Amino acid sequence: MTNERLLFNKNILVAVDESESGRRAVSYVGQILGGMTGFKIIILNVIHEPDEDYFQESLEKEAWLAQHKLKADAMLNDHRQLLIKEGFEPNNIVVRSIILDCPSIADCILTELEKMGCSTIVVGRKGVSRKEEFLFGSVSNKIIHHAHDCTVWVVE
Amino acid sequence: MTALLSQKDIRQMTSRWLPASQHNRHFRIHSDTTDFFRIDYGDVVTLGENSYLIRHNAKEGRFGLDDEIKFWVKRAIDLQTGNLKIIKLVFHEKFTSHIGNIEFQCFRSPKKEARILDLVADHDNFMHGYSIEDESGNIVRVIDFIYGKSLHAYIGNLQIDHQTYFYDLFPEILENFMECVEAVGFLHAHGEKHGDIRRDHIYLDRDNQKYRWIDFDFNYWQKENIYSYDLFGLGNILIFLVGMGDVLIQNLKKKNPHALNALSEEDLNIVFNNRVANLKKIYPYLPESLNRILMHFSKGAKWYYENTIQLLNDLGEVKNM
């Protein structure tokens, strides 16, 4: 057995989408850590770029992406305000919205987590049924099973 | 570039396939297929250097429902070779599909099917064909006609008892089905999904005895695991094959109430709750290793297949028994 002390930083990645569970995750972090010093919160939203097959024309795709980026920016701003209200310094909150064409949203989030070097990731659980998880998978479950070198908080 | 054909050329080319009374008729020739409703029996479609005589619209039956006419899919004769073809014209369709209470966005994609046709051109377990843009840029797919029955029809027409089926026919069917699973794995390895895995989308090719996947133009808005919907389809087909048809709760009520009483909620198909997944409770001679695979598609499953390799490994163990 090793006595080496593991080092954890205070950077926390909160992965959100447009669902209520994402807002719950942000709210949880705000309530638990608001007012404490040293924490940096990164709120990440991955916009899942649809298959090129989904659009008949490239203009249609551009319009789709622009619309979703706008919506994501408004949502992230709302989350940021929520954290400020809970006592976080504005300069300790980073919001990021990225458009990615990825086979798995969970894999994309975990790649971003690694790049940002956060010790903790927070996700909200949507409560998808077993049937739905079987048919399409679950982002939070995949993060729980595949995340390594970090701690996962799952907010119910 | 579309070949310019005269009425005389067309008459000459079509005379083999039309009754003498029609040899001197005037043919409608389409090089723009956008309005596929206008393309009718006896018309000619020209695509690049090739011309096709339209015979009729394709129909698709869906498990006991009446056949639906698919006006964008035509049966045709290749006027150069005389071979029968399926011509799939562009029909952009987006709709919300339901499985139980789960909604998901589906759409047809000619681009996807064209891409997959290129990818599987040398693969025995898929339909073959090519894609070409018509005069208006529509991606038309020209598919080689497969002579044979669908797997759905083949199993549905068997007139033997289950035990005989299981020992005499199933081993070969399993081997062929495993080739189909491998073929879907081939798509996944290339970042593609089949998208519409059903037992009537496998055809048993009469010429080479191969099982072949058809129809890849269906796509859906993927969520976390882009391949799990295909795996769900494979699981349903496997249960259908092992059971020599779907074992339905309503049929058991009449034919085998004893077996019905032995079933619990966890023995049913995870998605279609009127179908039995735990078939060993109906057919006790099924090997445990095979039944375990079926149970991964049941309501009682603790773990789901994430890819075709996992499913193939387990099926391989059954095959080698």
Task: Give the per-residue SS3 of B242-263.
Answer: HCCCCCEHHHHHHHCHHHHHHC
Give the per-residue pLDDT at B62. 58
pLDDT value at B2 more than 80: no
Lowest mean pLDDT among A112-116, B115-119, B210-214: A112-116
User: How many other β-carbons are positioned within 10 Å of the β-carbon of residue A130?
Assistant: 13
Angstroms from B16 CA to nearest CA on chain A: 39
Q: Report the percentage of chain B scoring pLDDT > 90.
A: 74
Instruction: Give the residue-averaged pLDDT of B21-47.
Output: 92
pLDDT value at B226 more than 60: yes
pLDDT-based confidence at residue A152 (cuts at 50, 70, 90): very high
Angstroms from B63 CA to nearest CA on chain A: 21
Which distant-in-sequence residues (6+ apart) come within 8 Å of B291 by Cβ?
A: B278, B279, B280
pLDDT-based confidence at residue A60 (cuts at 50, 70, 90): confident
Angstroms from A152 CA to nearest CA on chain B: 18
- Considering the segment(s) B148-319 as one domain, its CATH architecture is Orthogonal Bundle (1.10)
Residue type, B12: Q
Domains in chain A, start-ordered, CATH in brackets? 11-155 (3.40.50.620)
Give the per-residue pLDDT at B97. 84
Give the per-residue pLDDT at A134. 85
Hey, which of B91-95, B270-274, B293-297 has the most confident mean pLDDT?
A: B293-297
Contact A135 B299 (CB under 8 A): no
pLDDT digits (tens, 9 = 90+) for A74-88: 999 999 999 999 999
> Best of B139, B225, B232, B265 to disrupt the A interface by mutation (most A CBs within 10 Å)?
B225
pLDDT value at B74 more than 60: yes
Phi-psi region of B58 (alpha: psi -120 to 50; beta: other; left: phi over 0): beta
Interaxial angle between packed helices A105-116 and A139-146, expressed in degrees from 0 to 180 and rounded to the nearest 10: 50
Q: Where are the domains of chain B?
A: 7-91+127-144, 148-319
Question: Least CA distance to A129: which residue of chain B?
Answer: B102
Instruction: Give the residue-averaged pLDDT of B95-107.
Output: 82
Contact B301 A134 (CB under 8 A): yes
Contact A134 B228 (CB under 8 A): yes
What's the complex ipTM? 0.73
User: Number of C-alpha atoms within 13 angstroms, CB side, residue A13?
Assistant: 24
Instruction: Give the residue-averaged pLDDT of B200-213.
Output: 96
Instruction: Give the residue-averaged pLDDT of B277-295.
Output: 97
CA–CA gap between residue B246 and residue B241 (Å, rounded): 8
Contact B308, B231 (CB under 8 A): yes
Angstroms from B106 CA to nearest CA on chain A: 9
Contact B112 A51 (CB under 8 A): yes
Contact A135 B111 (CB under 8 A): no
Give the per-residue pLDDT at B58. 85
Question: Least CA distance to B234: which residue of chain A?
Answer: A135
Q: Does B174 touch chain A (CB under 8 A)?
A: no
Which distant-in-sequence residues (6+ apart) come within 8 Å of A102 by Cβ?
A: A46, A48, A49, A108
User: Quick check: helix, strand or coil at residue B207?
Assistant: coil
Give the per-residue pLDDT at B313. 97
Give the per-residue pLDDT at B65. 53
Angstroms from A5 CA to nearest CA on chain B: 35
pLDDT value at B28 more than 90: yes
Q: Which of A53, A131, A142 sits opposite B112 (nearest CB)?
A: A53
Question: Least CA distance to B103: which residue of chain A?
Answer: A132
> Within the 58-97 window of chain A, which residues sit less than 8 Å (CB to CB) from chain B?
none
Instruction: Give the residue-averaged pLDDT of B233-244.
Output: 97
Give the per-residue pLDDT at A2. 58
Contact A132 B112 (CB under 8 A): no
Q: What average pLDDT does the structure give for chain B?
A: 92
Q: Report the percentage of chain B scoring pLDDT > 70.
A: 96
Residue A119 burial (C-beta neighbours within 10 Å; 0-12, 13-18, 19+): middle
> Within the 267-296 window of chain B, which residues sit less than 8 Å (CB to CB) from chain A?
270-271
Instruction: Give the residue-averaged pLDDT of A59-67.
Output: 90
Q: β-pairing, B68-78 with A151-155? A: unpaired
Chain A contacts of B304, Cβ < 8 Å?
133-134
Give the per-residue pLDDT at B38. 94
> Best of A61, A134, A143, A146 to disrupt the B interface by mutation (most B CBs within 10 Å)?
A134
Give the per-residue pLDDT at B239. 98
Give the per-residue pLDDT at A22. 94
Lowest mean pLDDT among A60-64, A132-136, A142-146: A132-136
Residue B298 burial (C-beta neighbours within 10 Å; 0-12, 13-18, 19+): buried
Give the per-residue pLDDT at B319. 86
pLDDT digits (tens, 9 = 90+) for B107-143: 899 999 999 999 999 999 999 999 999 999 999 999 9
pLDDT value at B195 more than 80: yes
Q: Does B138 touch chain A (CB under 8 A)?
A: no
Contact A53 B107 (CB under 8 A): yes
pLDDT value at B64 more than 60: no
pLDDT value at A138 more than 80: yes
Give the per-residue pLDDT at B63. 53
User: How many A-B residue pairs are in contact by the CB < 8 A criterion?
Assistant: 63
> Best of B105, B117, B223 to disrupt the A interface by mutation (most A CBs within 10 Å)?
B223
Contact A136 B229 (CB under 8 A): yes
pLDDT-based confidence at residue B320 (cuts at 50, 70, 90): confident
Q: Does A130 touch chain B (CB under 8 A)?
A: yes
Q: Does B219 touch chain A (CB under 8 A)?
A: yes
pLDDT digits (tens, 9 = 90+) for B134-176: 999 999 999 999 999 999 999 999 999 999 999 999 999 999 9
Angstroms from B139 CA to nearest CA on chain A: 11
Lowest mean pLDDT among B225-229, B289-293, B314-318: B225-229
Which tokens belong to A141?
């479950």
Tokens 């149970």 appear where?
B295
Contact A134 B229 (CB under 8 A): no
Q: Does A137 touch chain B (CB under 8 A)?
A: yes
User: Number of C-alpha atoms within 13 angstroms, CB side, residue B227?
Assistant: 20
